[in-house]
């Protein structure tokens, strides 16, 4: 591995010298999904010069999936690994012995540390997972729910699953069966009935004591649910997103294109933690992340995600639910 990394660094430096944008590789790290090389531009070399050479660098290292970004005082060149090391939820859970209550496991961040999300935090509360087909949305959602179910009894954590396309896998359904507060909602009528029951429960709950069980409402395809359910479903989801965190009700939603037109601007604005996988374009990335320039259109897919809350972003490899 060391010799291969050294050759890759030499090729990057050679390309930059030939294109009159010299820089030195000063370090790097190997992550489950990619290798990152840190560059220190030479005096006179501009950042945009190096970024403009992304295609040349990709050709030199023999990998079409190359991404260049700024990392502090350096430039970072991220190169997708040919053979990715899978991040397994079971392995991560075995390493984590002291997780705060109601904290989900997402995967491994760029620095190799487990990435967690505490539902009761104002910066989390509700989660939106966005990305194209093949980005790993469903696997990430399942890992989040399984990690929560593993550490909490059914009287502490309840799940409501909305799946009108009937895509939930048998293994997942069996694993969370004890935590389901009602059968999986599959028809339009069942979805409307389920979200209305959640809203009723939310209105009746007191915030003076810790509400039990905490409830996670999992919407497998939010945009489709909003389209088929109409204004009634959008309004119910919006009320949950606006007021659910304190009474212990959380929304976990997946969608390919979380546009304000598809899910409603107020609902979208109240989903503070965005987990964005690969998308088609920079505009789709901005729409999903809520901020411009996150670079989600350059992700590798298959579990390569960026976690975004406010203006802070963390790239991570999502855990597989195995």
Whether residue 213 has a cis bond before it, omega within 30° of 0: yes
Residue 5: predicted pLDDT: 84
The domain over range 2-80 is classified in CATH as 3.30.980.40? yes
> Is 79 in contact with 37 (CB distance < 8 Å)?
yes
The region of weakest confidence among 60-74, 228-242, 263-277 is: 60-74
40 pLDDT above the threshold of 70:
yes
User: What whole-number percentage of the chain has pLDDT above 90?
Assistant: 57
Residue 13: predicted pLDDT: 93
Arithmetic mean of pLDDT, 170-174: 87
CA-based nearest residue to 105, from 277, 275, 300: 275
Residue 208: predicted pLDDT: 72
Instruction: Count CA atoms within 13 Å of residue 50 on its CB side.
Output: 26
Q: Where are the domains of the chain?
A: 2-80, 89-318
| Confidence tier at 247 by pLDDT (50, 70, 90) | very high
> Is 303 in contact with 320 (CB distance < 8 Å)?
yes
169 pLDDT above the threshold of 70:
no
| Three-state SS at 298 | helix
Residue 161: predicted pLDDT: 95
166 pLDDT above the threshold of 90:
no
Structure tokens that stand for 290 in this block: 């809520």
The domain over range 89-318 is classified in CATH as 3.40.50.300? yes
Average pLDDT value over all residues in the chain:
90
Residue 2: predicted pLDDT: 67
**pTM above the 0.85 mark?**
no
Sheet holding 304-309, edge to edge: 114-118, 103-109, 312-318, 304-309, 273-276, 127-130, 249-255, 214-219, 157-162
| Three-state SS at 307 | strand
Burial class (CB in 10 A: 0-12, 13-18, 19+), 84: middle
């Amino acid at each position: 591995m060391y010799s291969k990394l050294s050759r890759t660094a030499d090729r990057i430096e050679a390309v930059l010298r030939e294109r009159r944008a010299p820089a030195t590789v000063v370090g790097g790290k190997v992550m489950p999904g990619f290798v990152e090389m840190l560059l220190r531009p030479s005096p006179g070399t501009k950042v945009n010069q190096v970024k403009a050479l992304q295609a040349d660098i990709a050709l030199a290292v023999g990998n079409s999936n190359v991404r260049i970004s700024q990392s502090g005082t350096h430039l970072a060149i991220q190169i997708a690994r040919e053979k990715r090391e899978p991040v397994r939820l079971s392995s991560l859970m075995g390493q984590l012995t002291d997780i705060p209550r109601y904290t989900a496991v997402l995967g491994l961040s760029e620095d190799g540390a487990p990435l967690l999300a505490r539902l009761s935090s104002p910066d989390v509360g509700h989660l939106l997972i966005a990305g194209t087909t093949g980005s790993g949305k469903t696997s990430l959602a399942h890992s989040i729910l399984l990690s929560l179910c593993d550490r909490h009894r059914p009287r502490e954590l309840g799940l409501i699953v909305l799946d009108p396309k009937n895509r939930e896998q048998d293994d997942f359904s069996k694993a969370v069966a004890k935590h389901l507060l009602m059968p999986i909602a599959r028809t339009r009528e069942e979805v409307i009935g389920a979200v209305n029951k959640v809203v009723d429960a939310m209105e009746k709950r007191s915030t003076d004591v810790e509400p039990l069980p905490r409830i996670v409402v999992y919407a497998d395809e939010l945009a489709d649910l909003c389209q088929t359910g109409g204004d009634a479903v959008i309004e119910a989801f919006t009320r949950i997103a606006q007021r659910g965190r304190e009474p212990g009700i959380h929304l976990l939603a997946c969608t390919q294109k979380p546009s304000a037109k598809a899910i409603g601007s107020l609902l979208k604005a109240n989903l503070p933690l965005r987990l964005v996988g690969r998308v088609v374009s920079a505009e789709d990335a901005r729409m999903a992340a809520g901020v411009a320039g996150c670079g989600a259109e350059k992700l590798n897919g298959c579990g390569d995600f960026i976690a975004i809350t406010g203006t802070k972003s963390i790239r991570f490899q999502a855990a597989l639910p195995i």
